[in-house]
Amino acid sequence: MGSGIAQKTAQEQFPVQMVDRELQWVERGQETISTLLGQAVERRIFSEAQVEEIQARITGVVGVENVAANTDLVIEAVFEDFDVKKAVFNTLDEACGEDTILASNTSSLSVNALAKATARPDRFVGLHFFYHPAKNRLVEVIPSELSSDDTIARVEQFCKMLGKVVIVCKDRPGFVVNRFFVPWLNEACLLLEEGVGTTAQIDAVACAAFDIGMGPFALMNLTGPPIALHSTNYLAEQLDTPRYTGAKSLEELVEAGVMWDIDEETECDAEATKIISERLLGQVFAVASQIVAEEICSMEDVDRGAKVGLRWMNGPFEIMNALGLDEAHRMANAYAELAEFDLPPFFAMKAESGHGWEFNFVDVVQTGGVATVRLNRPEAMNALNETLVDQLGAVLDDLNSDNSVTTIVLEGAGKAFVAGADVKFFVDKIRADSFSDIYDFTANGHVVLNKLENSPKTTIALTTGLALGGGLELALACDHRVGTRRSQFRFPETNIGIYPGLGGTQRTVRICGVEAARWAVLAGNFVDSKTAYALGILTHLVEPAEVSATVEAIDKSGKPENKYPCEPRNPEHPVSTFASAFYSDANMPGLLSGSCPEGFDAEDRNVSRQLKSLSRTAPIAMRMASELLDNAVETGENLDAGLALELSNLEDIFATSDALEGLSALIEGRRPTYTNG
């Protein structure tokens, strides 16, 4: 785990010290990282040059006492022994400066107890990275009772910069995911002991019931049966739930030092299938309800943990909705009787209501006058759907009318700000011949973005990750856009058969000028953070550690003097100068017809890249987007008029066969074939 955390940290451009008590273990960690990065090169995830840069950011250190005093964050990842961890933290307290935050990567130990064992409990948190930390996107952040707000915010921001989906949860045994997942593994072992099914049969039924790729026995073989036994015994003790005590079959397997034998015979009779399915589902449903009742985290985060950390298709509460809450409650109640605990009363009340669980994807936290609005749908990269847009609109209404709020900050959970709109929605509506639904969704999007555009508050988009399509349009409606080196932007619409329909053709022109807007919108160029800052797409480009201070400074300074300068911030930037010449008014007729502008060499690398990008767009979409960009110039300061033109052209673009082809191809992971129809 330690080397994996170090690897991921270095991959995200942070310098990292990898510390162990002996040189051989430091070298072993470096060898492990080298092997994994070598595999990444073979799979073309990284180039050899990138791997060299990553490894150069990792410094091997022998001895905890030799950690650099100015280290910002130390993540301890020794084995789960309280006394050993305490000794490590005692040494770190002496070696590190007073501002250093200490964190323990633990899956079981009490964070509150660990915090009290340090000399800096206010600068201590628990972290639970999931295996493998360089690949799994989930991390649970567990504040102690004494953790300061600044510590929690800084650690959460760091985890976000690693591209992690963060669940902040209460310090309770098992935290979130292991609380329901570990007993699930043990319950499978109990079913095996009872003779209900074989390992292969139980795995097969579990995969079907939960829509997952690996059953409990295959998963234990992957992570190691001893870990499952240790974890379930710990929960049994800490939660005083004997049902969780490691099954005899699991205990004997661990004592023998072998893995589960899983044959290929997966078929079992209907009665056995029902018992296995309902027992495993009921266990998860019952424990998931306990997690929410104990306020460890929200039901949305429980589902998020299952989908991101365990890679389940749906979370426990989503599965309950699909089955029906009355059935889900029956299964959960049956398991609760076996485990000898009571279900939380709210579960029965909800089941009797006849309604499913209702999910919230927009969270608000207010500190002083700053209200931070988090779009919390990271498993879908915060893609805009009807529910999220409606909830965001309601939140903005409340904040805009709240006199205690001076600044509204938008941020996305996970590695993305917002990765566009929910494409499947568009495909389904086109195929159902329901354009009116597409129009209503887009028109409502305009209404919500205008609540930012016309807000009496200072509005900020924290675009510290990926912002695509509708996500970029959402950010452009804000007064300020704060980014870091991980910020990346793109308008992919013309490549998927449509045009930006939430103000992208209008606000982009007003921010950075029509030529730069053509470069961004028509060709769908990726925009890195430095280019975005030069064009004005980003108003602030800062180091990750400076994000909070930047928000505070903006809150004090208020709205910008000129939100729409209609020209790049840096006209001398290479992209600014190229766009000004290549995408000039005079060159547009030729570019729209597929020819290289006069005076440009089609063999030039930059020119050929643009021509290639333009050739891959849907012709009708590119033409309509170009006209709308021109309309932005014509309508000038009348932004509402330009936005109205975007909406008025929607039916024409979504009626094309190219729109369905482009959107479908994106979902299916293939290159579209456009017929100009």
Q: Are 125 and 142 in contact (CB under 8 A)?
A: yes
170 inside domain: no
Alpha-carbon radius of gyration of the chain = 27
Model confidence band, residue 336 (pLDDT cutoffs 50, 70, 90): very high
| Of the candidates 85, 77, 137, the residue with the CA atom closest to the CA atom of residue 113 | 85
Summarize the confidence of residues 337-361 as an average pLDDT. Answer: 95
How many Å apart are CA 177 and CA 308, to the nearest integer? 10
Final residue belonging to a domain, choices 353, 380, 395: 353
Q: Which residues pair with 546 in a beta bridge?
A: none
Report the distance separating Cα 167 and Cα 356, nearest Å. 23
CA distance 127 to 139: 7
Please write the tens of the pLDDT for every residue from 413-467: 888 999 999 999 999 999 999 999 999 999 999 999 999 999 999 999 999 889 9
**DSSP single-letter state for residue 362:** E
Do residues 374 and 348 share a domain? no
User: CATH number, domain at 214?
Assistant: 1.10.1040.50
Backbone angles phi, psi at 259, to 5 degrees: -100, 170
Assess whether the previous peptide bond of 132 is cis (omega < 30° from 0): yes
| Residue 224 shares a structural domain with residue 143 | no
**Which candidate, 448, 490, 485, 438, places its Cα nearest to that of 469?**
490
Report H helices in 122-247: 149-161, 177-193, 199-210, 216-223, 225-238
* Containing structural domain, residue 223: 177-353
What per-residue confidence (pLDDT) applies to 49?
Answer: 94
Q: What is the CATH number of the domain that holds 610?
A: 3.90.226.10
Among residues 353, 372, 403, which one ends one of the domains?
A: 353
User: Across the chain, what does the average pLDDT equal?
Assistant: 95
Output DSSP code: residue 329: H
Per-residue confidence band for 160, with pLDDT thresholds at 50, 70 and 90: confident
Q: What is the pLDDT of residues 457-515, one digit of tens each?
A: 999 999 988 999 999 999 999 999 999 998 999 999 999 999 999 999 999 999 999 99
What is the rounded distance in angstroms from the CA atom of residue 457 to the CA atom of residue 340?
52
DSSP state of 384: B
Neighbours of 661 (CB within 10 A): 18
User: What's residue 516's pLDDT?
Assistant: 98
Amino acid at residue number 407: T
Cβ count near 60 (within 10 Å):
15
> Are residues 347 and 421 located together in one domain of the fold?
no
Task: Indicate if 231 belongs to the active site.
Answer: no
Question: β-strands 73-76, 101-105: how paired?
Answer: parallel
CATH number for the domain that contains residue 73: 3.40.50.720
Q: Which of 353, 370, 387 is the last residue of a domain?
A: 353
Q: What's the Cα-to-Cα distance from 102 to each of 119, 126, 130, 611, rounded to whole Å? A: 10, 9, 19, 51
Domain contains 590:
yes
Whether residue 223 is predicted with pLDDT greater than 90 in this model: the reply is no
Active-site residue identified among 178, 231, 455, 529: 178
Are 448 and 585 contained in the same domain?
Answer: yes
**Is 140 one of the annotated active-site residues of the chain?**
yes
Q: Would the CA dihedral through 580, 581, 586, 587 be positive or negative?
A: negative
Distance between first and last Cα of the chain:
53
CB neighbour class for 34 (10 Å; exposed up to 12, middle 13-18, buried from 19):
middle
Question: Helices 23-42 and 2-11: crossing angle, nearest 10°?
Answer: 50
Residue 167 lies in a domain: no
User: Within this chain, do residues 152 and 194 fall inside the same structural domain, yes or no?
Assistant: no
- Tokens matching residue 599: 């005076």
What are 492's two structure tokens? 């992919």
Are 104 and 197 contained in the same domain? no
Q: What is the mean pLDDT of residues 69-93?
A: 92
Say yes or no: 532 and 469 in one domain.
yes
Residue 508 lies in a domain: yes
Beta-strand ranges (E) seen in 485-640 are 488-490, 527-528, 540-541
Reported confidence tier of residue 664, pLDDT bands at 50, 70, 90: very high
Residue 371: enclosing H or E segment and its boundaries? Answer: strand 370-375
The answer to whether residue 327 sits within a structural domain is yes
Is there a domain that residue 165 lies in? no
Residues 536, 558 within the same domain: yes
Distance CA 140, CA 546 (A): 23
Label the pairing between strands 370-375 and 362-367: antiparallel
Active site residue 178: yes
> How confident is the model at residue 544, as a pLDDT?
86
540 noted as active-site residue: no
pLDDT tens digits for range 566-585:
999 999 999 999 999 999 99
Asked whether the whole model's pTM tops 0.75, one would answer yes
- pLDDT (average), residues 581-592: 97
| 232-258 tens-digit pLDDT | 999 999 999 999 999 999 999 999 999
Q: Residue 210 above 90 pLDDT? A: yes
**What does the chain come to in residues?**
677
Res 394 pLDDT > 90:
yes
Phi/psi region, residue 126 (left: phi>0; alpha: psi -120 to 50; beta: rest), is beta
Q: Report the C-alpha gap between 355 and 571 in whole angstroms.
A: 56
Q: Which of 3, 112, 128, 631 is catalytic?
A: 128
122 and 265 inside one domain: no
Is the residue at 323 inside a domain?
Answer: yes
Check if the beta carbon of residue 118 is closer than 8 Å to that of residue 124.
yes
In this predicted structure, the answer to whether residue 152 has a pLDDT above a threshold of 90 is yes
Using alpha carbons only, give the angle 154, 159, 165 rounded to the nearest 5 degrees: 130
Q: How confident is the model at residue 563 (pLDDT cuts 50, 70, 90)?
A: very high
pLDDT at 161: 87
Is residue 142 located within the same domain as residue 184? no
Total structural domains within the chain:
3
Alpha-carbon distance of 334 to 284, in angstroms, equals 12
Same domain, 106 and 217: no
Q: Which tens digit of pLDDT belongs to each residue from 592-611?
A: 999 999 999 999 999 999 99
Judge if 126 and 8 occupy the same domain.
yes
CA 71: distance to chain centroid?
27
Residues 504, 507, 511, 513, Cα dihedral to 10°: 70
Which residue from 205, 246, 224, 177 is spatially nearest to 79, judged by alpha carbons? Answer: 224
Which of these, 542, 515, 522, lies nearest to 530 by C-alpha position? 542
Residue 81 is predicted with a pLDDT of: 85
Helix (H, G, I), strand (E, B) or coil at 222: helix
CA distance 425 to 387: 12
List 104, 105, 107, 147, catalytic entry: 107
Model pLDDT for residues 274-315, shown as the tens digit of each residue = 999 999 999 999 999 999 999 999 999 999 999 999 999 999
Catalytic residue among 76, 140, 411, 453: 140
In a domain, 677, yes or no: no
Q: Which two tokens stand for residue 1?
A: 């785990």
Q: How many CB atoms lie within 10 A of CB 348?
A: 16
Region 63-83 average pLDDT: 92
